[in-house]
Structure 1
Amino acid sequence: MEDEEKHHNFHEMELDDRILKAIAKLGWEAPTLIQEKAIPLLLEGKDVLVRARTGSGKTAAFAIPAIQRILNLKQTSTQQDIKALILAPSKELCNQICKVVKDLTIKCSREVKCVDIAPQEDLNVQRPLLVEKPDIIVATPSRCLQHILAGNLNLKNSLELLVIDEADLVFSFGYEAETKQLLEHLPNIYQAILASATLSEDVKSLKKIVLHNPVTLKLEEPDLAPASQLTHYHLNAEEIDKATILYALLKLHLIRGKTIIFVNTVDKCYKIKLYLEQFGIRTCVLNSELPAAVRCHSVNQFNQGVYNIIVASDEKALEQPGNEEPEKKSKRNKDKNSGASRGIDFQFVSNVINFDFPLDIQSYIHRAGRTARGNNQGSVLSFVSMKESTLLEKVEKFIQQGQEDVSLFKSYQFKLEEVEAFKYRAKDAWRAVTKIAIREARLKEIKQEIFNCQKLKSYFEDNPSDLQVLRHDKALHTVRLQQHLTDVPEYIIPATLKNLAGISKKTKRKRDGGNEYTNKLKAKKNNPLASMQFEGFKKKKKRN
């Protein structure tokens, strides 16, 4: 594993041609560092503990050798059996792991079957899937144990490979007892893989009970992408100033590309959505109270480019021990098997905005890890209030370790006084989002999504293309919308921001095509729109 070793490409790893064709179809030109190191070891049958940062390609690092091993076993086996079990702490991650496996088996889908049993359906509904004994099962520890205890699943005599992804979260998500009980129902001998972004005490505990003489792959790489790939910004602002700046940045298109806005609570999630809704900015909400199928579908649509802004609550951080804020008990039905900042494979995210600064260092790292994945560029903009400044110092100190000469955190240059006119609008919109409006929005969203999931499930199974109709960024309409707020008159935009946003009189007239701004100028002789056949002008001329 020394640096002097020769670099291997996928075609040099003795992989089946069908896997290589699937990799080529996915557009993966070369293995990532973790894939290059882990795949040969796993193909040799060794137990491996993989530690690599988020976005480094861990999923494919264990999925590719798992598929290869199953294809090898198919050559000599006489009956169909479950050969691999992949455990993950959240339903969203299970869904995405299964998708990666299916993408990698697209050329051998008849030989290698993969089933995700993490969704909370009735056990009897999923029983027929397990009776067929798929080659690979993906599940959360609790769901897998439920099927074993119900007699739907027997791994004692057939399992060859166990994978635990995001191993550092398995115990912290409350799966410790279930995982230990689950291991009692596995064979005495099997190959095991632990994949994790950190080597915490929980991972070390799992290592003792799961792995046998393992190889530990701890890549010498930082927790986050390098400064050449990921830029960190911070901006000192209090609540209403945060809201004003967010409105200006998004409405003036000063931030472009796919964006995830992180907050710390579910209520704040809906407050941001309803606030931006008043300005005609469409967003999708992602939190632990939504059904798992909705969360997975929302992420898939975001990855496909159906919408570009997600407001995600990272409330898991509030439940972790050691935080400065006490844990708040809630009667609301949250899904413990969810998490937005960890595991979920958001693709091609250009920006992460921390509207609420994360409550600990690891939360910041994992939020920032949603962008700058693979070889893509990304940026993180953190709004920091006075009470959050100590948290920023801790994060900055941690990330700066070993790089004292270079400051990774940059101050975002934004003059709040230049958008004072935006602030008046922002205050009105922010105050309009009351606690009652938030509660109604939450109930409306959940009822609507449950209806979509339950009543239309069979229809969408037969008509998958129509599933795109279910957009998750639709307006909730629990706050009265004022139409004038959706437009930004040019007179309130400072000159410096006009240039940054690419707005000029010429482009404004061209873009608006005869709305508020052009109507004011239509009487001028030099108006370039005067000759256009526009109905609004015709009617006005007739009246005159």
Structure 2
Amino acid sequence: MAPELEPAKKQPKSFEALTPELSSWILDFARSMNFSRTTPVQGMAIPLLMGNKDLVVEAVTGSGKTLSFLIPIVERLLKAEDPNRKGHVRSIVVAPTKELATQIYDVLRGLLRHHVPSAAKLDPVPEVDSEDEDAPMPDEMPPGPYIIPQLLIGGRTKLPEDIATFSELNPNVLIGTPKRLLEVLQSSKVVLKRHWFDLLVLDEADRLLDPNFQPDLSKILDLVPKERRTGLFSASVSQAVNELVRVGMRYPFKISARVRSAQTGAFDKRTPESLKLCYHVSKPSKKIPILKKVLQERSAEKSIVYVSTRAGVDYWSHVLPSILGVLVFPLHGDHKAEIRAKNLIRFRDCDTQAILLTTDVLARGIDIPDIDLVVQLDIPAQPKDFIHRCGRSGRAGKRGMAVTFLSEGSEEDYVKYLEVQGTKVEPLPNPPEVSDDEADQIVRQMRAVLMKKREMHDRSQKAFVSWAQAYTKTLPGDVFDIRKVQWQEVGRAWGLLRWPKMPELKRYFPESFADRTFGLNIDESFDIETLKYADKLRESSRQAAIEARARGEKPKLPSRLGGAAAELRRKEKNAWSVQKDAKALRETRRDRKDVRRKADKFGKMSEAEKVEAMKLEDLVAKVREQTAKQEDESFEGFGD
């Protein structure tokens, strides 16, 4: 791995050389976590952050970036004057996902177990009953300073609970996602003063500048003091990060770590040498059969499979277990925080062959031990996420493989595109052979799952539509061109029982609208109308709708629909008096907003401007009154 440092400086070669005060407990933790003593990212980032330098770090996945900013945070706090001043935050770490924020928090907690005062503060000895003479007396709390982190992520706890915990814990390090961090930082109980605040770290900084996070991140940057140290860490520093560097950082150092290519000897690789990047091109209907054979032949105990959408995770999580014969743990952004954490822990602790099926929510920073294989069934929408996905395997020097599936047609050009971007992928060595009969057998197994209950058929429709919509947004657009999709092959690859009604099919595959089973090779004896919902109430509503259509009537809205249908049904059920009260409440709120808006407007005016504005309002009111009077006089009533 070769570092590039701007400006050039002599670099330390080991942890001991970073700073004379580097404690032995930090070294012990680094060794226990299998971090290399000569990892360039750690060897350079730590002294720069310790030496009051703003820093941008771009390094391969699994190279120890997390420890390279946690160690300076700890060391600087231990040296600070009064680091445990009540309500004062010293350092903040921002991460794009709940899982990554939790992982950073857990690593810091593990680090602090080697620091006796902080460990005692975070895990105090429980009080003993004074009447119990045999109970051992608790040790006294060792004197500080203490490092006290707090995790702030939405969904795990409510905002008032986090603020109450802040007041009770008095943390000096906050780790969390942008939205919850912003909500807590805006509380009056949190103090960010120029002379006390020290470090702001943005992990996966380029992801934090996506449109979903950028508004919250900008507000956080406005709240934290300008006199601070800032560190940006990512495996891919984009142009957006460079923009942030110019806006929020002062003469930052940039560390760019590359891996020496075994073939050319040049420092051009963006992934660890222990990670092998492969691709395989096939018909869409053969992807799942090939995946099954790859898992069997390579005896991959733990694998991560990436798909493009949340609906896709929901669908494949029901289909893949019976086909692949392995445990499948789904995880995506729509899952509640406790479900995401539970499935991630179950996957980590699983001692049999298992797959973590997920979206890009777990593409960055997550460190799961012993990931043998990463599979990309769908290409990420943003090319920069390709490296992050693959980097979940082959971490910390361990061997790993990442396989990307591409469909025959224009998608093969993605390999050339990656090579131009500096990422070289090789053909999958000794790819398994899959015959058309074997592929057809897998398709029949998928359809057998869908035919068990109509809910699964609905999932397949929703997942397929979401996949097509995601495909239109996948870059580069000339490679992933929806006009070149082999629709019949893709439909069979998903095990569809019928084509959904969607604009993309209507435009690029009009035969599917004339015949909803065109090209799917569905058995003629199968009738989709005989497929029933397992939910009896939902099935009765469906049958009532079928009967209404047969009579030429408009079907009633199903009782368990959500969204606009549910809202319409609620409005229809509300009494007229309730609707009237709701309308009056809305008008009252609107009037209050107008009053506040006028008050704010007048508050910024001089006395002369206020007089002119009042005259203008009086004139407008008179004109409106005359207009209304003229309309009343001209109206002569309805004719016969």
Do they superpose with TM above 0.5?
A: yes
CA contact 1:271–1:438 (8 Å) conserved in 2: no
Please tell me the residue identity of whatever aligns with 2:432: F
Q: Which residue of 1 aligns with 2:311?
A: 267
Match of 2:188 in 1: 151
Decide whether the 8 Å contact of 2:327 with 2:355 is kept in 1: no
Superimposed CA distance per residue, residues 82-103 of structure 1 (whole angstroms, 9 cap, x where no aligned partner)? 2111111111111111111111
Which of the numbers 91, 98, 101 marks the counterpart of 1:84? 91
Q: What is the 5 A alignment of 1:249-398?
A: 249-250=294-295, 252-279=296-323, 280-306=325-351, 308-314=353-359, 339-387=361-409, 389-398=411-420
Stretches of structure 1 lacking an aligned partner (at least 5 in a row): 317-338, 444-544
Tell me the residue number matched to 2:177.
140
Checking the alignment, whether the CA contact within 8 Å between 2:90 and 2:199 is kept in structure 1 is yes
Structure 1 residue corresponding to 2:448, chosen from 432, 436, 439: 432
Structure 2 runs not aligned, ≥5 long: 122-145, 260-267, 463-640
Please show how residues 95-134 of structure 1 align to structure 2 within 5 Å: 95-108=102-115, 109=119, 110=121, 111-120=146-155, 121-131=157-167, 132-134=169-171
Deviation readout 1:409-458 (Å, 9 max, x if unpaired): 445422213xx675454122111343721767999xxxxxxxxxxxxxxx
Report the counterpart of residue 210 of structure 2 in structure 1: 172
Q: Which amino acid aligns with 2:98?
A: K
Q: Could you say which residue in structure 1 is the equivalent of 2:16?
A: 11
> 1:260 deviation in Å?
0.9
* Equivalent pair of 2:93/2:201 in contact (CA under 8 Å): yes
Equivalent-residue separation in structure 2 for 1:369 and 1:256 (angstroms): 16
Give the partner amino acid of 1:119.
G
Distance 1:400 1:188 in 2: 36
TM-score normalised by the chain length of structure 2: 0.59
Whole-Å separation in 2 of the counterparts to 1:166 and 1:400: 19
Quick check: 1:396–1:409 contact (8 Å CA) kept in 2? no
Shift of 1:230: 2.3
For residues 84-133 of structure 1, give each alpha carbon's deviation from its aligned partner in whole angstroms, at most 9, with x where no partner exists: 11111111111111111111111222321111111333211111221132
| 2:332 maps to amino acid | N
Q: Which secondary structure state, in structure 2, belongs to the residue aligned with residue 199 of structure 1?
A: coil
1:415 to 1:306, Cα distance in 2 relative to 1, 3 A? closer
User: What displacement does 1:390 show?
Assistant: 4.1
Note if contact 2:54-2:229 (Cα within 8 Å) is conserved in structure 1.
yes
2:243 equivalent to 1:218: no
CA contact (8 A) 2:306 2:375 kept: yes
1: CA distance between counterparts of 2:84 and 2:288?
63
Secondary structure class of the residue paired with 2:80: helix
1:60 to 67, 74, 78: 67
Determine helix, strand or coil for the equivalent of 1:384: strand
Q: Secondary structure at the match of 1:283?
A: strand
Q: Structure 1 residues 310 and 224 mapped into 2: Cα distance closer, same or farther (>3 Å)? A: farther
Which residue of 1 is the match for residue 600 of structure 2?
A: none
Identity of aligned residues (%): 23
Measured in 1, the distance between the counterparts of 2:444 and 2:83 equals 69
Q: SS where residue 230 of structure 2 aligns?
A: strand
Sort the Cα spacing of 1:440 and 1:218 in 2 relative to 1 into closer, same or farther, 3 A: closer
Aligned residue in 2 for 1:206: 244
Tell me the secondary structure at the aligned position of residue 402 of structure 2.
Answer: strand
Equivalent residue for 2:227?
189
The alpha carbon displacement at 1:393 in A equals: 3.1
Aligned partner of 1:429: which letter?
A: Q
CA contact (8 A) 1:84 1:159 kept: yes
CA distance in 2, matches of 1:240, 1:78: 60
TM value normalised by structure 1:
0.69
Alignment partner, residue 537 of structure 2: none
Letter in 2 for 1:102: R
User: Retained in 2: the 8 A contact 1:85–1:137?
Assistant: yes
1:56 maps to a residue whose letter is S
Q: Secondary structure at the match of 1:219?
A: strand
Distance 2:244 2:398 in 1: 33
Q: Check the 8 A contact 1:244/1:426 in 2, yes or no.
A: yes
* Secondary structure of the structure 1 residue equivalent to 2:401: strand
- Aligned equivalents of 1:28 and 1:440: distance in 2? 43
User: RMSD of the alignment, in Å?
Assistant: 3.0
Moved over 6 A (4+): 440-443
* Deviation per residue, 1:279-323 (Å, 9 max, x gap): 442111121111123323433443344555334343x5xxxxxxx
* Per-residue Cα deviation, 1:126-160 (whole angstroms, up to 9, x for no partner): 11221132121012222111123333422235321
Question: Aligned equivalents of 1:33 and 1:442: distance in 2?
Answer: 49
* Aligned AA (1:367): R
Partner of 1:235: 280
Instruction: Provide closer, same or farther for how the CA distance between residues 114 and 369 of structure 1 changes in structure 2, counting only shifts above 3 A.
Output: same
Q: Which residue of the partner structure matches residue 408 of structure 1?
A: 426
1-side partners of 2:353 and 2:461: how far apart?
21
3-state SS of paired residue (2:432): coil
Alignment partners' CA distance in 2, 1:400 and 1:191: 31
- Report which of the two structures shows the higher radius of gyration computed on alpha carbons: 2
Selected match of 2:51 from 44, 48, 60 = 44
- Asked if the contact 1:52/1:198 (under 8 Å) is kept, the reply is yes
Change (3 A) 1:377 1:216: same
Q: How far 1:205 moved relative to its partner?
A: 2.3
Aligned position for 2:514: none
What one-letter code is carried by the residue in structure 1 that aligns with 2:16? H
- The structure showing larger relative contact order (alpha-carbon pairs under 8 Å, at least 6 residues apart) is 1
SS in 2 for 1:103: helix
SS at match of 1:349: coil
Higher alpha-carbon deviation: 18-27 or 113-122? 18-27
Amino acid in the other structure paired with 1:437 = M
Is 1:69 equivalent to 2:76 in the alignment?
yes
Structure 2 CA distance, aligned partners of 1:156 and 1:307?
51
- State whether residues 317 and 330 of structure 2, in contact with CA within 8 Å, keep that contact through their aligned partners in structure 1: yes
Q: Secondary structure at the match of 1:19?
A: helix
Question: Does structure 2 conserve the Cα–Cα contact (< 8 Å) formed by 1:361 and 1:395?
Answer: no
Pair 1:294–1:107, CA change in 2 (3 A):
same
Which secondary structure does the structure 2 equivalent of 1:233 belong to? strand
TM superposition shift of 1:7: 4.7
1:231 and 1:409 in contact (8 A); partners too = no
> Whole-Å Cα distance in 2 between the matches of residues 442 and 299 of structure 1?
27
8 Å CA contact 2:62–2:391 kept in 1: the answer is yes
